[in-house]
């Protein structure tokens, strides 16, 4: 399970981000595609998005 900071970093850069509510912090956790709990992205792109982050 990714950390909360990982969810936020990926959510901020994800091209498929679709918020569950307006004016919410951009994070996977607040995305329509996140299945919640121990789940993952329903589009199965979390790890692809995570590994493409520029962490320099």
Q: What is the pLDDT of residues 2-44, one digit of tens each?
A: 899 999 999 999 999 999 999 999 999 999 999 976 679 999 9
Residue 40, Cβ density class (10 Å: 0-12 exposed, 13-18 middle, ≥19 buried): middle
Phi and psi of 9, rounded to 5°?
-60, -45
Q: Give the per-residue pLDDT at 54.
A: 74
By three-state DSSP, how is residue 41 classified? Answer: strand
Q: Give the per-residue pLDDT at 55.
A: 66
Q: Give the per-residue pLDDT at 9.
A: 95
Give the start-to-end residue ranges of the domains of the chain: 4-51
Q: Token digits for 15? A: 């091209």
Q: Give the per-residue pLDDT at 41.
A: 94
């Amino acid at each position: 399970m990714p950390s909360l900071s990982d969810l936020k970093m990926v959510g901020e850069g994800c091209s498929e981000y679709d918020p569950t509510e307006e004016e919410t912090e951009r994070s996977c956790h607040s995305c329509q595609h996140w299945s919640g709990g121990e789940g993952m992205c329903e589009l199965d792109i979390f790890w692809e998005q995570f590994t493409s982050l520029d962490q320099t």
